[in-house]
Amino acid sequence: MDKLARNAHELFHIQLTGRQMEALVTYERELLDWNQKFNLTAIRDAESIRTKHFLDSFSCVLAWGTNPPHRLIDVGTGAGFPGLPLKIYYPSLKLTLVESVGKKAMFCEHIVRLLRLENVEVLKARAEDVGQMKEHREKYDWAVARAVADMKVLAEYLLPLLKIGGTMLAQKGESGPAEAQAAERAIKLLGGKLRQVIPVHLPGVADDRYLVLVDKCAATPPKYPRKAGTPMKQPL
C-alpha cells in the first residue's frame, strides 16, 4: 500500500491520510474475499487491484484538478470503481453509484456500510432508467463511467444526468481518442461538446489509457436516454 500512496502522490498529487489508507486496505480485503464467491472483477491479485482499480480511479483527479466534484454519479460502477476510491479521498463528495448487476450493487452497499461512508446512494438500475428519473436527471456536476460502453452509448447514458455546465468523464482504453471523435455528432445532439482527451500513464500498465471530457452546454432533449437496451443496440 505504501507504493500506492507514493504513486498517487507522484502521478496525481494525491496525499492519502492514514485513515484513507486503512479504508483502502479494508476495501481490497473485502474485494478479494467476495471475488472468490461472486466473480465481481477479473482483477484478482492485490497488486493489480491497487494499480488497475485504485490508482486508475484516482486518475480522474487529472480531469478536475483542484476543483473536485460536489455531486458525482458513477454509471456501471461494477465493484465501485472509480466512485468509491474517490469518495474515500473526498469525504464530502455526494456520490451516486449505478449498477444493474445485483451482486455488484450488493457489494458496493456492503463497502459503504463497512466504511461508514455518508452521502452515498447505490442504485440497482439501468443507466437509461436513471437518466429519466426526475431526482437524477440533470442533477450532477460530474458523471463518470469506466470501460462501460462505446463513447456514443456512454454519451446517452451520462449527458442526461448532468446539469448544464457539468462535465462527463469517460475512462477509456487505447480506442479513447478515436471513439471521442466518432461520437461528436451524438454528443452534440445530447447537449454536449467534446472538451479534451487526457492521456493517463499507470506504472507497470502497458496499454494506453485516456480520460475523455465532454462539457454539458445545453439541455438534453427529453426523449434521451431511450429505453433500456436501445442505446447499445442502436447507437446515435
Beginning with the edge strand found earlier in the chain, give each strand of the sheet holding 192-200 in spatial order: 120-123, 94-98, 71-75, 140-146, 162-172, 209-216, 192-200
Q: Are strands 140-146 and 162-172 parallel, antiparallel or unpaired?
A: parallel
> Is the backbone peptide bond immediately before 222 cis, with ω within 30 degrees of 0?
no
Dist. CA 166–CA 181, nearest whole Å? 20
pLDDT of res. 5: 96
Please provide the DSSP assignment of 152-221 as one string.
HHHHHHHGGGEEEEEEEEEEE-TTHHHHHHHTHHHHHHTTEEEEEEEEE--TT--S-EEEEEEEE-SPPP
Helix, strand or coil, per DSSP, at residue 159? helix
The three cell numbers locating residue 229: 437496451
Q: Are strands 140-146 and 209-216 parallel, antiparallel or unpaired?
A: unpaired
List phi, psi (to 5°) of 174.
Answer: -65, -20
pLDDT of res. 43: 84
Helix, strand or coil, per DSSP, at residue 90? coil
pLDDT per residue rounded down to tens, the chain (236 residues): 999 999 999 999 999 999 999 999 999 999 999 999 888 888 888 999 999 999 999 999 999 999 999 999 999 999 999 999 999 999 999 999 999 999 999 999 999 999 999 999 999 999 999 999 999 999 999 999 997 899 999 999 999 999 999 999 999 999 999 999 999 999 999 999 999 999 999 999 988 899 999 999 999 999 999 999 999 999 99
pLDDT of res. 39: 82
The residues pairing with 51 across neighbouring beta strands, listed in sequence order, are: none
Dist. CA 27–CA 197, nearest whole Å? 30
Cβ atoms of 62 and 12 closer than 8 Å = yes
- Total residues belonging to the chain: 236
Distance of CA 132 to the CA centre of its chain: 19
Helix, strand or coil, per DSSP, at residue 164? strand
Q: Which domains does the chain have, with CATH numbers?
A: 66-233 (3.40.50.150)
- Enter the pTM of the model: 0.97
Single-letter residue type at 132: Q
Rg of the chain over all Cα atoms, to the nearest angstrom: 17
pLDDT of res. 2: 92
Rounded to whole angstroms, what are the CA distances from 111 to 24, 26, 31, 122?
A: 10, 9, 9, 11
